[in-house]
Amino acid sequence: MGTVLGTGARAGFLDEKGRLPKIKQAMMVDAFGTVFGALLGTSTVTTYVESTAGVSEGGRTGMTAVVTGILFLLALFFTPLALMIPSQATAPALIIVGVLMMGAITGINFDDFTEAFPAFLTIAFMPFTYSIASGIAIGFISYPIVKLVSGKAKEVNWFIYVLAGISLIHFFPQLVSWIF
C-alpha cells in the first residue's frame, strides 16, 4: 500500500489531503496481480518502489509496464550471459533505486515527532536488517505505539492497529500459536 501511495505521489495523483483517488481499484489490481502471479509460481507481482522510476520519467498509462514486460521476455534469452555478471556489479543500479526512493522523504513532517520517529525507524531498519519488509513492519509497529504514548491515538486509523498486530507476527511468528 505504501508503494502504491508513493508511486501515486511521485506521479502527482494525490489529492489535496494526500489521498490517492481510486485507491480501491489500484489495490484490487495489485491484489489480483499478486494472487495470479502466485498461482503461476512467480515471485510477487505487485507495485514496486522501482515503479517510481518509470513514473518519474513520464510513465502514467501503464505502457511502461507493458514495454518492461516485453523487454523482460526478450531478456530471458540473455539469462546465461547475465549470470556471468557478479552480484557486486548490480550495486550501482540498487544505489540509483535507493536515491529515487529517498525522494519520498520530503513528504514526512519532521516537525511532528510522532510522524518523524516511526519514519526514521522504518528507514533505518531496512539496511540494518537487510529487509524492506522488516523496515516496513517496524514502521507499522512503532507508528501506533508512538501515537498512543503521545496521546494522539485518535489520529491513527483502526486498520493501522491491525497492521501493527500483523507486523508483530512478522517478527514473532510464535504469536500465532499463542493467540490461537
Kindly report whether the global pTM for this prediction surpasses the value 0.85: no
Based on the fold, state whether residues 177 and 135 are members of the same structural domain: yes
Residue 52 lies in a domain: yes
What domain range includes position 115? 108-180
Based on the fold, state whether residues 3 and 73 are members of the same structural domain: yes
Residue at a domain's end among 82, 117, 146:
82
Q: DSSP string spanning 13-57?
A: ---TTS--TTHHHHHHHHHHHHHHHHHTTPSP-S--TTHHHHHHT
Higher pLDDT pick, 147 / 78: 147
What total of structural domains would you count in the chain? 2
Based on the fold, state whether residues 2 and 72 are members of the same structural domain: yes
Based on the fold, state whether residues 49 and 124 are members of the same structural domain: no
Cα radius of gyration rounded to whole Å, the chain = 18
End-to-end CA distance of the chain: 27
**pLDDT, tens only, 112-136:** 999 999 999 998 998 888 887 888 8
**pLDDT, tens only, 162-175:** 999 989 988 888 87
- The pLDDT, as a whole number, for residue 16 is 82
Based on the fold, state whether residues 114 and 165 are members of the same structural domain: yes
Supply 78's cell numbers.
Answer: 540473455
Residue 136 lies in a domain: yes
Based on the fold, state whether residues 2 and 76 are members of the same structural domain: yes
Q: How far is CA 134 from CA 45, 49, 124, in A?
A: 19, 15, 10
Classify residue 122 as exposed, middle or buried by CB count within 10 Å of its CB (0-12, 13-18, 19+): buried
Round to whole Å and give the CA distance between 65 and 54. 8
Q: Could you tell me where the beta strands, DSSP code E, fall in the chain?
A: none
**pLDDT, tens only, 56-105:** 777 777 788 788 889 989 988 888 888 888 877 877 877 777 777 777 78
